[in-house]
A and B are shown apart, each in its own frame.
Chain A
Amino acid sequence: MSDEQTVAVEVVGIEQVTPLIKHFKLAPVGGGTLPVFSGGSHIIVVMRGADRVHKNPYSLLGSPSELDTYEIGVRRMEESRGGSHFMHDQVVVGSRLEIAHPINLFGLDKIARKHVLIAGGIGITPFLAQLEDLHGGGVPYELHYSVRSHEHAAFLTRLHRREGERLHMYYDSEGQMIPFETLLANQPLGTHVYVCGPAGMIKHVIATAQSCGWPDSHIHWEQFSAPPVGDAFEVFLARSQLSVHVPPDQSLLESIEAAGVEVPYLCRGGVCGFCHTRVLELDGTLVHNDHFLSDADKAKGKSIMPCVSRAQCKRLVLDL
């Protein structure tokens, strides 16, 4: 994505839906409609802060058939690098932001015979749009939604009204757990499972499905990692002949962009693989934080996903 491909939007509505989650409505500046998307898509929101530009992925949670506005849900992260705090503290109705066109890395399987959706916390957001695609489709589905407590159950009124008995709620505060094993051991052939939520939950769902004999082609998940903080390091961009300093709280990708070098990306969360970059030289170790490279590729140390991964080294040379 380059800046020319962004769409200028204005914040037209903000609602605090839980103590940690704000719901934003974005409309195109100057009117008109926004690009078409399918359930499960995300956008990158570009936030121009005082000292830094943040670009974070957020799932679109509104109906794909309503393109006057986009809706996103932003959870305030405790260890925010600034993006979620910016959205929560700086953005008000009337604020202007830039967004990238929607990308779907978490689409529904079009010929599934049944869908089982599993959400944890803010992980509910991609499902809200997918549910709009499922309504009236004739394919059975069920949603299992786990939250900390009643006050943290975002978008519950909307879900209750539209999903009825297909919604299954689980509250940590009441000791309720999604019965993953029972749920996944008894699904008809042709069922697909989708999970979005905390890393531990996603891992557990994948492992449980596999132990129940599910093949990988029926298991879908999405988790955008925020770029973790780490030690500062230096990187040399071989093709651009540029040295770039990566501070502890800025990602490799952000640092490279700040130096004026463009790297293609789609998700900025370690999922899509678009920012895959070749490592030419390294005198230390790579800290891989992505979900894209295989363990074998990570061990080889020949490539890196600069959106979320870092290095502990004296010298890193990239093919950029």
Chain B
Amino acid sequence: MLVTGIKSKPVYAPLQADTRGRYHLMVGMGVGAAPLLRVIAEMRSAAAHSLKHTRVLYVPDSGGSEGGGTGGGAGIDEFRSAAVGEVRVFEGTPALLEKFRATLSESSMGTRLYVAGPESFIGLVMKIALEFNLNKDEIRAEECGTLARRIYCIHCRATTEQVRTNIVRCVGCARWLLVRDHYSRRLAAYMGVMVDAEAPGELPPVKEVFL
């Protein structure tokens, strides 16, 4: 029942250093540390002078499951020993996003953004980047960790977090929502549409699909 082939579904690619940029801002969560460290290593060999213009904002796994596995603790130590311009570690995503927004507001043209982590985290980062008119050629994102989605209810406009199933009960209006592949960059969420509007109470099998 999950409609596929929807064009708005974001596409990600493995991170690569873009040494045409003058400043590099890296934002990661959980196992997202690994791709960011890979980019740092790439810079060290290709354009070592870029490292001092590189800043890292990182949030380790919060509560164990959100980041989709381990790797947070080791990531922090590796970032700290990577000799980049600045490393900031946050306790949770909201604090990181607040600092990210403040960082963008004082950043100059010539900045490249690298994002790595679970898709829902990437979406929240991209939403802010969009407000600053960062274009595709300034942003790279690599998805790693859980595929759990943020679901925007098209009926009551509430957003249900950490959705792993094809059908979910809306936190706002308690309707059963079918999770679609339609994605809004502005809302950083996939669309959820009432699944049993025609025949109330008749639900297709609920399956865990976004792991």
Contact = CB atoms under 8 A, between A and B. Distances in A.
A212 B53 CA distance: 13
B89 interface: no
A190 B22 contact: no
A276 to B, nearest CB: 25
B137 A188 contact: no
A186 B69 CA distance: 40
A213 interface: yes
A318 B133 CA distance: 43
B113 to A, nearest CB: 9
Interface stretch (B59-67, B101-109, B114-122, B198-206): B101-109
B92 interface: no
Interface SS majority for chain A: loop
Contacts of B107: 188-189
B132 A210 contact: no
Interface string B118-151: 0000000000000011111110000000000000
B108 A217 contact: no
A64 B104 CA distance: 34
Contact of B136 (A184, A185, A191, A217): A217
Most A CB within 10 A of own CB, among B104, B105, B111, B135: B135
B112 interface: yes
Given A210-B20, A213-B22, A213-B23, A188 B109 contact: yes
Given A213-B20, A213-B22, A213-B23, A187 B108 contact: yes
B108 A112 contact: no
A293 to B, nearest CB: 21
A214 interface: yes
B99 to A, nearest CB: 15
Nearest to B137: A215
B108 A186 contact: yes
Interface of B: 20-23, 104-105, 107-112, 132-138
Given A189-B132, A213-B112, 10 more contacts: A189-B105, A190-B109, A209-B109, A212-B22, A213-B21, A213-B23, A213-B109, A216-B137, A217-B137, A217-B138
